[in-house]
Amino acid sequence: MSGTYNTTIRRVVISAWIGNSIEYYDFLLYGLASALVFGPLFFPGASPFTVTLSSFASFGVGFISRPLGALFFGNRGDTLGRKNTLLITLGGMGAVTFLIGCLPSYASIGALAPALLVILRFLQGFLVGGEWGGAMLMVVEYAVGKHRGRLSALSQTGGLTGQLLATGVFIFVTQLPEEELLSWGWRIPFLLSALLVLPGLYMRHRLDETPVFRAFKKQQAINHMQQREERPVVKVVREQWRSILLIMILRFAESVPFFLATVFAVSWATTQLGIASLTILYIVMFTCLLAYPMHMLFGIVSDRRGCRQVYIFGALFVAAMAFPFFWLLESRSLILMIVGYVLLINIGHNSLNAVQPSFSPDCFIRLYAIAVHQLALSWGRLWQGDSHRLSLKR
């Protein structure tokens, strides 16, 4: 029994890791493209500030659609199963990202180009809204005992792998001459998504539904509950709105520093501070590599001391780094910029991110966990996305 369980949980963790890697490669790729190339391609003819603002506004559309995706796929996860839902979100994300790489520019089809870009970004956010919460919940529902924290932390490194891949591919394509980069080079990272999604779909197809979901469906059959008097998401939002609000706040604290450092700061450093794009991208890659051991460290600590203490530490540390991070970036010193990123991301963000999968579901009852979990997480990210656009306007 133990050997079978270990094999199953290994598959679940690997599947969550690969799936999150691909989903966040696709989702974060758009952020880097917004900071570096989308402005002149899809929003030309205005001042540099307006071009940048328009590009980041389209990036923010993905955060608006995330709660809608969480509502839709969260409900499907509770009624049709986690596995089938996650296959849809992963396959759909790969297809949408591939289509972004096929889009003609504003110079080719005029205003239709940015309109199509915004629609595809909306779909990206809709699909990723159903991905993270579902994948992490599968891990938590399978993981039992004292290793729950470190297994959750390991699964969380998938998002960092996606950031690492996206940054690495953009470093490669930015070596091209500017004319070639804006002509066809920027498309390469998006077209690659069609290949990257295949191993994730294969791994997820081999998974079984979680014991929690199977037990729920069995009990539902016994109690003749198929009439579904009330939708799960409606029931849980009505009964557990306090828990939803709590998770929104927790997610906000974790998401802000990550996107602040990996998207907004990249644009700000290159356009306002005159820092070479390669320099800031290499720093982001370094912090992503360092995040692997840091996640495991915080996961182990959470197993011993509890998720709550680790999360409180991370939230306080992120708050303390709010202004020092930008002061260190403004120094334009390579060493000081690296220090700023390590402090904000590898200590502040990583401590929050590592324990979130095992911490968040504890705020809810197990029944209908996926719907409310994803909804709260996506609303938290919507707040965070809006805060970045306000920062840009200042």
The residue with tokens 């979130």 is: 356
Q: What is the pLDDT of residue 343?
A: 96
Q: What is the pLDDT of residue 92?
A: 92
Q: How far is CA 288 from CA 80, 207, 291, 356, in A?
A: 35, 28, 5, 18
Q: What is the mean pLDDT of residues 226-230?
A: 52
On average, the pLDDT of the chain sits at: 78
Cβ atoms 3, 137 nearer than 8 A: no
pLDDT one-digit tens code per residue, 200-215: 888 888 877 777 777 7
Q: What is the mean pLDDT of residues 232-239?
A: 66
Q: What is the pLDDT of residue 234?
A: 66
Q: What is the pLDDT of residue 321?
A: 92
Q: What is the pLDDT of residue 10?
A: 77
- The reported pTM is 0.76
Radius of gyration of the chain (CA): 21
CATH topology of domain 2-207+231-393: Growth Hormone; Chain: A; (1.20.1250)
* 62: confidence class by pLDDT, cuts 50, 70, 90: confident
Q: What is the mean pLDDT of residues 1-26?
A: 75
Q: Which tokens in the block code for residue 357?
A: 């999968």
Q: How far is CA 213 from CA 82, 88, 165, in A?
A: 8, 18, 33
141: closest CA among 77, 200, 195?
A: 77
Q: What is the pLDDT of residue 375?
A: 46
Domain ranges for the chain = 2-207+231-393
Q: What is the mean pLDDT of residues 94-106?
A: 93
Q: How far is CA 79 from CA 54, 73, 84, 207, in A?
A: 39, 10, 10, 17
Question: How crowded is residue 336: how many other Cβ atoms within 10 Å of its Cβ?
Answer: 14
Q: What is the pLDDT of residue 363?
A: 47
